[in-house]
Amino acid sequence: MFTLRTPRLLLALALTSFFAAPAALAETQPAKTAASAGQLPLQELRNFTEIFERIRSSYVEEVDDKTLLEYAINGMLTSLDPHSAYLQPDAFSDLQENTSGKFGGLGIEVGQQDGLILVVTPIDDTPAQKAGIQAGDLIVSLDGEAVMGMSLNDAVEKMRGAPGSDITLEIRRKNEKELLTYTLTRAEIKVASVRTEKLSGDIGYVRITQFQENTGGELAAAIDNWRHDGQLNGIILDLRNNPGGVLDAAVEVVDSFISQGLIVYTKGRAASSELSYSATQHTPAGTIPTVVLINGGSASASEIVAGALQDHQRAVIVGTQSFGKGSVQSVLPITEDSAIKLTTARYFTPNGRSIQAQGIKPDIWVEQAEVTTAEQRYYKESDLPGHLSNPTDKAKDAKAEAAGGEETDLTSDILKRDFQLYEAHTLLRGVAILSPRPES
């Protein structure tokens, strides 16, 4: 970054030279020719330098040239789309921490909408998630300061802070008439990428909170362990409220379920942005029936996984429509400690569907709800006086009854709290029951 201490004419020439658009050449050629040659328009550069000079001389407070140019760069990038940004040292460091799975703050993946801060998803086991922050919430103020007009980077910086310190958020939530107020205590956020649990009926449950460098390996190891320990009748892959992460990790996750074919491809203007990823023969999940859970907080890499498995008809997608972030951001270093995050391509599923602003529609639409049991009393044959006894061996009856009771205990807690998971589990249990069994 250079510092400008020149008159407006020299500033114009410096900027023109900086952007590889010589003034003399631009003036001697027609506008159409200049545009086709990729040169910058001279009049717009003159406008820029005029505005720059007026800010320097007339703004109510003095602002140094370096800061003004940083503002200009930041504004240029943030005006392109919600995901392009200028990453100065702190933001660049934060991005590197996020992909490693450890960072400080509240545990909220955010974007920008209508000038407010949009909660894309709260991350599991973080202050935001524990306090009840929900995907789709709009943050109106931070510690009493309105976010309207605040850049996304500035808002994120304000939400970060020393572990143990508090911050108050005012939130606008759909279907709530009044603003909601939350006071959160910042913490060191350590995101465990993969969490697993074995549910009743030999159903494996995998929760991926964020796609990190080791996600694919952790998932493959979990599936291998389940298959080694005994029968595995199905897998539930939970990608709800997963904001995305590392593309390679998403590809590895899909590769655990399919053994051939395209996983995802990207299209952009630059040749380097045209990429495609295909499956390998190493498929830990084999042909085990699979359900993928998604919702409005499932974005980016999560949508790549869901879209690929849906296109390959390898999994049933259950839940609600995903977020719809189908763009690729490349981090391009500018100096040793700063970079730009620039949208360079779009993602496409194997069948050529663009995820951007569309998302993934589930095969079975299931809204989240609370699972409750209605108590009903029916009289049975066994309640009638003098009923005939069942000739089945009583010991076998007792053993089967005990096994059924144990299965209910294993399933009850996690499934009663989560209706979407309950439905996914029920679906896989049905598939397992109907699947052919080897003759004994």
Catalytic residues: 300, 311, 325
In whole angstroms, what is the distance from residue 51 CA to residue 46 CA? 9
Whole-angstrom Cα Rg for the chain: 28
C-beta separation of 150 from 78 below 8 A: no
Q: Which two tokens stand for residue 180?
A: 């909601």
Nearest-angstrom CA–CA distance, 159 and 142: 8
Strands (E), 228-310: 234-238, 262-267, 275-278, 290-294
- Residue 53 corresponds to which tokens in the numbers above? 């000079």
Residue by residue, DSSP assigns 146-191 as E-TT--HHHHHHHH---TT-EEEEEEE-TT-SS-EEEEEE-EEEE-
The residue type found at 80 is L
The long-range contacts involving 108-113, CB below 8 angstroms and separated by at least 24 positions, are 108/133, 108/159, 109/243, 109/297, 109/299, 110/139, 110/152, 110/155, 110/156, 110/159, 111/82, 111/83, 111/152, 112/82, 112/152, 113/82, 113/138
CA atoms within 13 A on the CB side of 114: 8
Helices (H), 37-170: 42-58, 65-78, 89-100, 127-131, 152-159
**DSSP code string of 342-386:** EEEEEEE-TT--B-TTT----SEE---------------GGGSTT
Query: Angle CA(315)–CA(322)–CA(151) in degrees, nearest 5?
Result: 145
How far, CA to CA in Å, does 215 sit from each of 101, 108, 210, 248, 310? Answer: 10, 20, 8, 9, 20
As separate numbers, helices (DSSP H) first and strands (DSSP E) second, the chain gives 13, 19
Structure tokens, 348 = 């496409």
Q: At what angle do helices 247-255 and 301-311 cross, to 10 degrees?
A: 30
* Cα-based distances in Å from 365 to 173, 294, 295, 360: 22, 10, 10, 11
Strand-pairing partners, residue 172, are 138
Asked if 180 and 212 touch (Cβ cutoff 8 Å), the reply is no
